Amino acid sequence: MERTLDKIEMHGMVFLGRHGVKAEERNKPQRFRVDVDMYLDLSHAGESDAMADTANYSLARKKVQAVIEGESCYLIERLANLIADEILSLCAVEAVIVGIWKLDVWPEGYPGVVITRC
């Protein structure tokens, strides 16, 4: 039987950051929406009911927040990559999908990126 991974979803997180190519984007905080899907084997957690057998959601959220609220980047592609690196450092996470959207750039709609890392 082929091995499949399970998924933990953390969607709709919004944090203030100072990122963008234009100086005004880095000088004034703007809202960034972040979605993270963490892929890992959750069968042990499902049987044991133990935190040690899953990814720590609170820690993952703190890592995302630290990247968004941290040092300015020009590109949201860079932010997504930094977040992916942080999430992959968590115990048992084998792959991650990170989506980031800049909510305050346009009067309608919003630009974003979605990356996948293993």
| Residues labelled as active-site residues | 102
Q: Which residue from 83, 76, 79 is spatially nearest to 112, judged by alpha carbons?
A: 76
Neighbour tally for 58: CB within 10 Å: 7
Q: Within the chain, what is the greatest distance between any pair of CA atoms? A: 53
Q: Measured between alpha carbons, how far is 93 from 54 in angstroms, rounded to an integer?
A: 9
Q: Measured between alpha carbons, how far is 60 from 8 in angstroms, rounded to an integer?
A: 11
Sequence-ordered alpha helix ranges (H) in 51-116: 57-69, 76-88
